[in-house]
Amino acid sequence: MVVLKVIQSRRSIRSYDSRDVEENKLLRVLESGRLSPSAGNRQERRFIVIKDANTRKLLSEAASNQRFVAEAPVVIAACSVEKEYIMKCGQLAYPIDTAIAVDHMTLQAVEEGLGTCWIGAFDEENVKELLNIPHDIRVVALLPLGYPSTIPQPTPRKSLDEVVMWERWSF
């Protein structure tokens, strides 16, 4: 297994070429989201696959006019059908569970030679209207998916010493 290599290779892709994403690759990306863990195994995530060029253009406008959202041949809207469940630790489950699923999909995309960019800057009500999503469903993220036309350099990350403590809080 080479999971760390995939993690090290992941980039936020903001430029896509025009090639279509093969169905088998798309299905593996979606399967990785389906298999992700969720609090209490509630599996409340749902994914809408958008390939229509006009809809992608409208989504890009709803996403703060980020043009690359329309440029990607596929956009996945990651949603949650349950928004009230609170885990014993006091955290709402749906944003965490959906984020885990999206993260699994971003890593599978790298394995497939594809790129993604996690989009959280969007008008949720506008996206719901565009995709006919019921009012009580939450849209957590948009995930453009496609072949990168350029791959950016890695962004700086803090060292382990800056983010890890042993046994107790010590910063």
Q: What is the pLDDT along the chain (171 residues), one digit of tens a residue?
A: 689 999 999 999 999 999 999 999 999 999 999 999 999 999 999 999 999 999 999 999 999 999 999 999 999 999 999 999 999 999 999 999 999 999 999 999 999 999 999 999 999 999 999 999 999 999 999 999 999 999 999 999 999 999 999 999 998
Question: Is 141 domain-assigned?
Answer: yes
Structural domain tally of the chain? 1
Helix H or strand E encompassing 165: none
Residue 103 lies in a domain: yes
Strands (E), the chain: 45-50, 74-80, 115-116, 138-146
Q: Identify whether 168 is part of a domain.
A: no
What is the pTM (predicted TM-score) of this model?
A: 0.96
Please indicate, yes or no, if residue 171 is contained in any of the structural domains: no
CATH of the domain at 127: 3.40.109.10
Asked if the structure places residue 89 within a domain, the reply is yes
Domain residues for the domain of 157 are: 3-163
Distance, in Å, from the CA atom of 15 to the CA atom of 78, rounded to the nearest integer, reads 21
> For 57, which DSSP code?
H
**For residue 42, is it within any domain?**
yes
Would you say residue 146 lies in a domain? Answer: yes
